[in-house]
């Protein structure tokens, strides 16, 4: 059977399984096994046990459940609610009030979570009742939460970046540091946009209560302090070179547990629930990782990577055209799947092409995360739009209208990053040379 026919059958099976609503991991794994069988028969499948062991026997991937545990403990202990309250007081002087807190809260929660959907959902559940009760503009409220949630996969720790690192053997500390400047720049631009909108039209947001005394200010700092301790303890020790990524995740988890029991509302019962949630989510992610590595092994066995390399080279695309093609792929995938599956499906195919266009692998890791951010809030079916719509109960059209200006900001940010890659690269290459 010819390579093109085998590939068409494999892709067709993948689309069929997705259309039938099969789990994304099954939709990747079954076609990969079929492709291996078509290429080499039963003997080709003998490599799968070795692929499975080599994939999951990874010290790097251990960081995923540890970072997830850290986020779950913070949610169960009530510290996430406290940090939103504290940030609300600290940014209350800015036009927009709690709308600014949405962005700041998502940025801070992203720095301990690593997942876009988890960030949007966690901050959204805390923020939306307060926004609704105080009369904030619904469209801008839901739009700021959907867009703010995208910061969860750009500001470190990022689960998408950890998986990208595992698949490409790039440095996790360098990826994390490369995502910091673009991530916080986007957060600042989001907040600036909200300030301008609310300054022009004050009816979008009621006047917030400004901190009136040093006691209020210290109370707000006290609400934010646990997150600062966790971030400095985990990521700070990683960037200083004292610990590995997995050890940094361990430090963060232990700090979250200690703070949850001492200054939060964490109990043994809530801790047990956090462990349960961590196990469920981690198992789903690692099963996805296993499926993706099987997919990658199938591509390598069948020589598809080399064929794709030759095909793309024959097209004589410029670097700009290559970026546009990659961007289009992620926008289309964002209509049906979330960030981590997008990385798992596309990186084995696209990463081997980077040398054709002299693209830095660290820069590309940040760029695809920004492309994924765009996909998550791009109408008509960005995943984050549905998450916020489900929590808020607002019409989907209203969520889309609110998120559209933020979509344009991220798009312009991605263009800026391709023109000036130093925005992302100067920090990791200066401090981690």
pLDDT tens-place string over residues 13-47 = 777 877 777 777 788 788 878 877 777 777 667 76
Cβ(57)–Cβ(289) under 8 Å?
no
pLDDT at 179 over 60: yes
Asked if the structure places residue 203 within a domain, the reply is yes
Asked if the structure places residue 23 within a domain, the reply is yes
Across the range 313-323, mean pLDDT stands at 81
Residues 29 and 97 in one domain: no
Residues 270 and 337 in one domain: yes
Range of the domain at 309: 58-431
- Residue 381 has a pLDDT of 59
CA distance 377 to 102: 16
Asked if the structure places residue 426 within a domain, the reply is yes
Helix, strand or coil, per DSSP, at residue 362? helix
Q: What is the DSSP string of 367-399?
A: HHHHHHHHHHT-TTT-HHHHHHHHHH---HHHH
Asked if the structure places residue 51 within a domain, the reply is no
Q: What is the mean pLDDT of the chain?
A: 79
Provide the number of structural domains found in the chain: 2
Residues 388 and 253 in one domain: yes
Cβ(170)–Cβ(176) under 8 Å?
no
Residues 137 and 25 in one domain: no
Residues 91 and 209 in one domain: yes
Asked if the structure places residue 67 within a domain, the reply is yes
Residues 175 and 78 in one domain: yes
Residues 138 and 160 in one domain: yes
CA distance 333 to 67: 26
Name the more confident of 6 and 66.
Answer: 66
Asked if the structure places residue 52 within a domain, the reply is no
Q: Looking at the whole model, is its pTM more than 0.75?
A: yes
pLDDT at 418 over 80: yes
- Residue 328 has a pLDDT of 82
Residues 23 and 70 in one domain: no
Report pLDDT digits (tens) over 342-374.
787 788 888 888 888 888 899 998 988 888 878
Report pLDDT digits (tens) over 186-231.
888 998 998 898 888 888 877 665 555 677 777 778 888 888 888 8
Name the more confident of 251 and 37.
Answer: 251
- Residue 303 has a pLDDT of 64
Q: Minimal CA–CA distance to 298: which of 44, 8, 3?
A: 44
Residues 104 and 27 in one domain: no
- Residue 172 has a pLDDT of 85
Asked if the structure places residue 366 within a domain, the reply is yes
- Residue 304 has a pLDDT of 62
Residues 231 and 372 in one domain: yes
Across the range 42-70, mean pLDDT stands at 73
Cβ(246)–Cβ(60) under 8 Å?
yes
Residues 41 and 77 in one domain: no
Cβ(372)–Cβ(334) under 8 Å?
yes
Least confident of 66-80, 180-194, 382-396: 382-396
Residues 13 and 136 in one domain: no
| Cβ burial, residue 184 (10 Å; 0-12/13-18/19+) | middle
Cβ(208)–Cβ(92) under 8 Å?
yes
**How far, in Å, are 71, 228, 244, 302 from residue 233 at the CA level?**
15, 8, 13, 45
Asked if the structure places residue 368 within a domain, the reply is yes
Least confident of 12-16, 286-290, 308-312, 327-331: 308-312
- The dihedral region occupied by 313, where left means phi > 0, alpha psi between -120 and 50, and beta the remainder, is alpha
- Residue 272 has a pLDDT of 93
């Amino acid at each position: 059977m010819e390579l093109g026919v085998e590939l068409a059958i494999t892709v067709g099976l993948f689309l069929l399984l997705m259309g039938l609503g099969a789990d994304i991991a099954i939709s990747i794994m079954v076609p990969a096994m079929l492709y291996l069988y078509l290429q080499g028969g039963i003997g080709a499948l003998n490599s799968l046990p070795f692929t499975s062991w080599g994939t999951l026997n990874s010290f790097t991937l251990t960081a995923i459940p540890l970072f997830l545990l850290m986020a779950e403990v913070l949610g169960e202990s009530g510290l996430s609610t406290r940090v939103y309250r504290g940030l609300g007081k600290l940014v209350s002087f800015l036009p927009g009030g709690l709308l600014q807190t949405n962005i700041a809260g998502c940025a801070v929660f992203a720095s301990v979570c690593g997942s876009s959907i988890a960030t949007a959902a966690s901050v959204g559940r805390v923020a939306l009742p307060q926004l609704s009760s105080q009369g904030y503009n619904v469209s801008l409220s839901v739009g700021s939460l959907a867009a703010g949630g995208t910061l969860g996969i750009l500001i470190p720790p990022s689960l998408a970046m950890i998986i990208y690192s595992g698949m490409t053997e790039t440095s996790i500390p360098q990826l994390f540091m490369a995502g910091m400047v673009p991530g916080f720049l986007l957060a600042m631009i989001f907040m600036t946009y909200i300030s301008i909108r609310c300054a022009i039209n004050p009816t979008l947001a009621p006047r917030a209560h400004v901190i009136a005394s040093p006691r209020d200010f210290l109370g707000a700092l006290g609400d934010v302090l646990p997150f600062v301790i966790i971030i400095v303890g985990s990521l700070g020790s990683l960037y200083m070179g004292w610990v590995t990524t997995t050890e940094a995740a361990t430090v963060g988890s232990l700090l979250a547990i200690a703070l949850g029991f001492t200054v939060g509302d964490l109990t043994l019962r809530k801790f047990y629930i956090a462990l349960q949630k961590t196990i469920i989510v981690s198992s789903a992610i690692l099963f996805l990782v296993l499926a993706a590595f099987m997919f990658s092994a199938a591509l390598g066995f069948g020589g598809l990577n080399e064929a794709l390399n030759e095909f793309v080279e024959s097209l004589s695309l410029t670097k700009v055209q290559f970026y546009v093609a990659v961007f289009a792929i992620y926008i289309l995938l964002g209509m049906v799947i979330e960030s981590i599956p997008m990385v798992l499906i596309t990186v084995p195919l696209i990463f081997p092409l980077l040398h054709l266009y002299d693209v830095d692998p660290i820069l590309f890791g940040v760029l695809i995360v920004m492309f994924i951010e765009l996909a998550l809030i791009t109408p008509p079916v960005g995943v984050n739009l549905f998450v916020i719509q489900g929590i808020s109960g607002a019409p989907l059209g209203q969520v889309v209208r609110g998120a559209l200006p933020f979509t344009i900001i991220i798009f312009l940010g991605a263009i800026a990053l391709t023109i000036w890659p130093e925005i992302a690269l100067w920090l990791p290459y200066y401090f981690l040379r």
